[in-house]
């Protein structure tokens, strides 16, 4: 077994706003495993300041080297050792899954990976001015999206709530499902009144209304909110099963939003989903600014965990973000992400 890695800087078409600032480039590492002529490649993608395994590049590469050595020697992934490093775990899991699939990027055998079924995704409207957000909203609807996620918490609250009210005047709940993501932008003091305001406009759910690490306040909001609450950043760094159980039981969210690069790789994501299911908590999966290698792995996992016939829109639209993305057989048609390798076979 031969293991190596490379890295690459990807450039955003438009600066990408996240809860921790604006990115113009994205740095990813690619783990490559080769055995008996079969190659598997996985992406290790970290979001600066957001991931629990954010660290200086030199240190990250030291850990990658160490893991490469371990895997080369043992032929397997050191899962427990990698719990604190979800992005590295996800990269190795992806590479191994591709090896198991004999080098195919169809990592798991699903209708999605065979190109028979698309995964419904939500459109994403980034933070911006009222005018920009409104224009992007219209664009998404025209493209065929039935679920749009709005990033709120960036512009003036009164403007944001006016935008949402305006959108609801033109598009009913049946036409468009609206999700909002506050990225921790509310405070424990103003959150409840804002949730009540939002609930007048048929919002499906709100992600992370207040900053993470305020379990008691978040639990109170989940109990009293008229709007279902989804946890996202809250899950970052919660890597041990006991802690996951405690978090779900103490906060009791309506949903959790899972990003494999941030929330425990494939193993950790599957673990979160089953712990949530046992407690009647819903979930969906989203990508986290990975390039197409990571995005493909996130989508393949999603199809394997929830499919076939996924109805809950997932957050898998980030593949269009980069000017210099890696080529993968992925395509967005209408509001669904598809793999297109099956069509190539038919065409041949």
Give catalytic residues, as residue numbers: 151, 259
Contacts of 126 (CB under 8 A, 6+ apart): 14, 16, 17, 133, 136, 151
**18 vs 104, which CB is nearer to Mg ion?**
18
Edge-to-edge, what's the strand order for the sheet holding 21-35? 2-18, 21-35, 38-45
Q: Binding marks (x or -) toward Mg ion, 41..80, rule CB under 5 A? A: ----------------------------------------
Stretch that binds Mg ion, among 115-123, 227-235, 237-245, 265-273 (CB under 5 A): 227-235
Distance CA 240, CA 268 (A): 9
**What is the total residue count of the chain?**
348
Nearest distance from C-beta of residue 208 to Mg ion, angstroms: 6
Distance CA 89, CA 131 (A): 40
Stretch that binds Mg ion, among 26-34, 52-60, 156-164, 226-234 (CB under 5 A): 226-234
**255 vs 338, which CB is nearer to Mg ion?**
255
Nearest distance from C-beta of residue 150 to Mg ion, angstroms: 11
Nearest distance from C-beta of residue 1 to Mg ion, angstroms: 37
**31 vs 121, which CB is nearer to Mg ion?**
121
CB crowding 138-154: b at 16 or more within 10 Å, else e: eebbeeebbbbbbbbbb
Q: Kindly identify the residues of this chain, within the stretch 198-217, that bind Mg ion according to CB under 5 A.
A: 207
Establish if 232 lies at the interface with Mg ion (CB under 5 A).
Answer: yes
Distance CA 1, CA 96 (A): 11
Q: Kindly identify the residues of this chain, within the stretch 150-179, that bind Mg ion according to CB under 5 A.
A: none
Residues near Mg ion (CB under 5 A), total: 3
| Cβ-closest position to Mg ion | 232
DSSP-based helix, strand, coil % in the chain, nearest 5:
40, 25, 35
Nearest distance from C-beta of residue 114 to Mg ion, angstroms: 30
Stretch that binds Mg ion, among 32-40, 72-80, 229-237, 316-324 (CB under 5 A): 229-237
**77 vs 125, which CB is nearer to Mg ion?**
125
Nearest distance from C-beta of residue 184 to Mg ion, angstroms: 9
CB crowding 318-337: b at 16 or more within 10 Å, else e: bbebbeebbebbbebeebbb
Read off the tokens for 222. Answer: 């989940």
Establish if 234 lies at the interface with Mg ion (CB under 5 A).
Answer: no
Establish if 181 lies at the interface with Mg ion (CB under 5 A).
Answer: yes
- Whether the CB-CB separation of 225 and 253 falls below 8 Å is answered with no
Contacting residues toward Mg ion, per CB under 5 A: 181, 207, 232
């Amino acid at each position: 077994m031969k293991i190596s890695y490379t890295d690459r800087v990807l450039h955003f078409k438009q600066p990408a706003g996240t809860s921790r600032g604006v990115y113009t480039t994205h740095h990813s590492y690619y783990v490559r495993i080769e055995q008996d002529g079969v190659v598997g490649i996985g992406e290790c993608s970290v979001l600066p300041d957001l991931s629990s395994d954010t660290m200086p590049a030199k240190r990250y590469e030291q850990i990658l080297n160490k893991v490469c050595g371990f895997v080369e020697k043992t032929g397997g992934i050191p899962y427990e050792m990698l719990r604190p490093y979800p992005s590295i775990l996800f990269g190795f899991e992806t590479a191994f899954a591709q090896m198991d699939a004999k080098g195919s990027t169809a990592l798991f055998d699903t209708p999605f990976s065979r190109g028979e079924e698309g995964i419904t995704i939500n459109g994403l409207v980034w933070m911006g001015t009222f005018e920009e957000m409104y224009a992007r909203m219209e664009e998404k609807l025209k493209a065929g999206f039935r679920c749009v996620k709005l990033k709120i918490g960036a512009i003036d609250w009164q403007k944001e709530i006016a935008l949402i009210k305006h959108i609801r005047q033109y598009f009913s709940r049946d036409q468009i499902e609206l999700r909002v993501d506050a990225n921790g932008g509310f405070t424990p003091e103003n959150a409840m009144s804002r949730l009540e305001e939002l609930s007048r406009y048929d919002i499906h759910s709100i992600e992370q209304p207040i900053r993470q690490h305020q379990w008691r306040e978040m639990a109170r909001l989940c109990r009293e909110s008229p709007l279902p609450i989804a946890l996202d950043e809250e899950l970052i760094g919660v890597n041990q099963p006991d802690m996951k159980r405690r978090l779900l039981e103490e906060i009791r969210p309506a949903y959790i939003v899972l990003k494999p690069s941030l929330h425990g790789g494939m193993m950790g994501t599957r673990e979160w989903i089953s712990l949530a299911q046992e407690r009647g908590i819903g979930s969906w999966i989203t990508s986290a600014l990975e390039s197409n290698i990571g995005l493909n792995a996130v989508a393949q996992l999603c199809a394997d965990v929830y499919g076939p016939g996924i109805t809950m829109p997932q957050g898998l639209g980030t593949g269009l973000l980069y000017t210099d993305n890696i080529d993968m057989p992925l395509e967005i048609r209408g509001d669904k992400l598809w793999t297109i390798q099956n069509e190539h076979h038919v065409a041949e």
